[in-house]
Chain A
């Protein structure tokens, strides 16, 4: 039976995308555009002594740190990543300069002839030098001393590459004296800020326009800022349009990845095997520059207790500096790493205590009104029990769990519970982002509104427009809503953190309501609506105390697999999911998020292996870094259970990242049953599964 999406409307970008008419960055025709080819560091860590540039033909340039106009900083969140390194390089592949010129082949040849002299320093590849430390406590961890038993384990997760189908690319040109950028991106205002900061120019000198974007998943949140700062430096010097489109290999090898992690968890038990509390340490590998790692770490730590309430909690974590490609945003932003750890841990703890997984998990399940690990409150109704029951029903979980527990069944079923805090951490929405949304109406009563939200596939262009159309109660073709252009829109913040619908959607609905209140037919009207967060949200970033998020979305995944005992290959036999994303505005779009997020998470769990060797990735192409094909995934069944959220548009919460959180632990729980071994590390490749079967834990 094919689905029938009664709640959905036609996606506004369907036709342009299916017909090939959508113009992505690489499709923009600009015949006089120059090419920029990066010259990359060949050492992992070293003093940059001298860059030897071959003699350049007329019209060719080498752009490097010496060309920095104002500040050699790429504005990410931390300010430690230089536009071009000037004194030291910190990872293999770091862009030490750009060869820019009209002929691509000549640029490539010149770049390959450009070499730097380094004084090599001892690189660090292991997680040992912390550059960000965070910690917080709940209750009284002193009671841990009274524990009669302590159960401890460690968990590891690997790198993951986003593999947006469209590689990173950017086009920059001068429009009069204004630098104009079109790029494959998530956050137009991040790019704008990166350019104004390095050039020291005023905001009106930079314009960023979004073309069609072929997927992002976090990978285009920060890296385009670096490309923009570099190309802006170049264009100031050469005053010619420049194009920099990465080949896939370059993209995989040198752009940011999901943070690898190592999580240590200890549960402190009393003599009746009640959990007195847990102590968790999450370490993430940030790579050569902090970038956004402190925020990733914060999210990882806040998610560390996941959907469970423990009375006493001691949580700490470190982001480690290593001489590797910096890690940055990727769907989930640190939380999938720690959710994987706690989900596996609680099952292992149940085994240790000889109790049923399901019972132990449910005993500590979060309930409405519980205190969060940061001493905030889970205020909104939590319907996790409904999600769990429905997922079990859909998947026939109990029967299968029992059936596959027979020895050598090589089949297993696993379940995970998870949450995702929507929006920026803490009071970030009100204190850092300060979104403002502009909506206007012309004399013909045609309404136009603007956001800086990029639709890179999630469908937000459709849903945000629909929120305004439905709020105003006017025909769809009376509302105009296009892709962001920083000359037209105010910043409504980055397209990140599952904030688009819950925050910007809420803001759009509010703006539309206000417009409706003052509506006068045939008159030009304009409203600038500022974001005002719920007043109860109080957060202290230094102590990590308070309400971490304005709202939480919840989910349950069940995954069934089989393992071939001869080849250790895994087959996904079925996937069932239930979600509470508040009110599901457009089911078809949400199913897209659900299936896509889960597929990506399953890839992370067992297929996608990205190994580092001497500071470079071993898998650098799509034939070596394998993502799931159609044959690697099974049918997926998903249901949304309605639980309207008072502060989101039409009761909606975030959904984009939530759907990534539970795939790996559900998969690994199934794998553990199939092979009767504990799994503490992903990706669980056939090589690793063989090791587990052969040598045990």
Chain B
């Protein structure tokens, strides 16, 4: 018998999770689609479900003593976007996620846990070294988002854990972001790119690149990035950077696009970003 678990508070939720193998339902915008059966019928679950959207203690955006922004797992995209504490780059990404209605319902924590290759909030989270706090009756642990997502719909969550918090670490970077979908609104991403950079005295102090929707998870290579850091920006060779990333971008052909397009556009976007790094708003 599938159980529907409705915890009154976080403590109770963690206790429930320690006893049940659960789907964790927050805004419902992914899970309710995946488990939908037919009009007028209940969604069909193959294991217990715990509902966490009403946990008031997980609905917040706050700044901690280290200057990090902490977002409760039950905070909706709309509230994240409205918060003056949240770095602008996240707001830019959020504005292009799904629709107004969906952003009123969905949470960023849910978007992370859903671990879709096309999950838009994963891109800035990975690029900016954000992490999630996983809580259980045994305590908390912090995991970088880039490590938390293991593959398509695979995450590093133990059965007794849930995401309780997202930790954003504001960066001093100039950003570039483009999401490419099938249309201008309400679209599932075919390919996206976020770049971040910092130039001082003509020297690359930081250069980060993250691609969405072109592999089983967000593509970011610290190894590549470290090669560029310290270089004179003038000497950064765009073609060789593109060559570095080309093999890492391994998209698929599906009902939304094809791999040739995704790869080509990913590289075009990378070139565009790098041109901006070289010619653009430096320092």
Contact = CB atoms under 8 A, between A and B. Distances in A.
Judge A-B direct contact (beta carbons within 8 Å): yes
A690 B183 contact: no
A626 B180 contact: no
B227 interface: no
B261 A629 contact: no
A630 B186 CA distance: 10
Interface string B176-212: 0010101111111000000000000000000000000
B125 interface: no
B38 A247 contact: yes
A566 B256 CA distance: 18
A13 interface: no
Interface string A376-419: 00000000000000000000000000000000000000000000
Given A105-B41, A108-B37, A687-B261, A631 B185 contact: yes
Given A566-B265, A566-B269, A626 B255 contact: no
Contacts of B183: 607, 626, 628-629, 631-632
A608 to B, nearest CB: 10
A624 B261 contact: no
Given A105-B41, A108-B37, A623-B188, A567 B268 contact: yes
B272 interface: yes
Nearest to A688: B261
B255 A619 contact: yes
Interface in A613-639: 618-620, 623-624, 626, 628-632
A618 B255 contact: yes
A118 interface: no
B182 A607 contact: yes
Interface in A524-580: 566-569, 571
Interface residues of B, number: 25
A624 B255 contact: yes
Interface in B35-54: 37-41
Given A607-B182, A629-B183, A630-B185, A566 B258 contact: no
B185 A611 contact: no
A208 B22 CA distance: 49
A611 B40 CA distance: 30
Interface in A203-253: 245, 247
Contacts of A619: 255
B40 to A, nearest CB: 6
B114 interface: no
Given A687-B257, A687-B261, A626 B182 contact: yes
Given A624-B255, A687-B257, A567 B185 contact: no
Interface in A21-65: 26
Given A566-B269, A569-B180, A607-B183, A104 B38 contact: yes
Nearest to B258: A687
Contacts of B182: 607, 626
A686 interface: yes
Contacts of A626: 182-183, 187
A620 B255 CA distance: 9
Interface of A: 26, 104-105, 108, 245, 247, 566-569, 571, 607, 611, 618-620, 623-624, 626, 628-632, 686-687, 690, 694
25 contacts: A26-B39, A104-B38, A104-B41, A105-B38, A105-B41, A108-B37, A247-B39, A566-B265, A566-B268, A566-B269, A567-B178, A568-B261, A568-B265, A571-B184, A607-B182, A607-B183, A619-B255, A620-B255, A624-B255, A626-B187, A629-B185, A629-B186, A631-B183, A632-B183, A690-B261
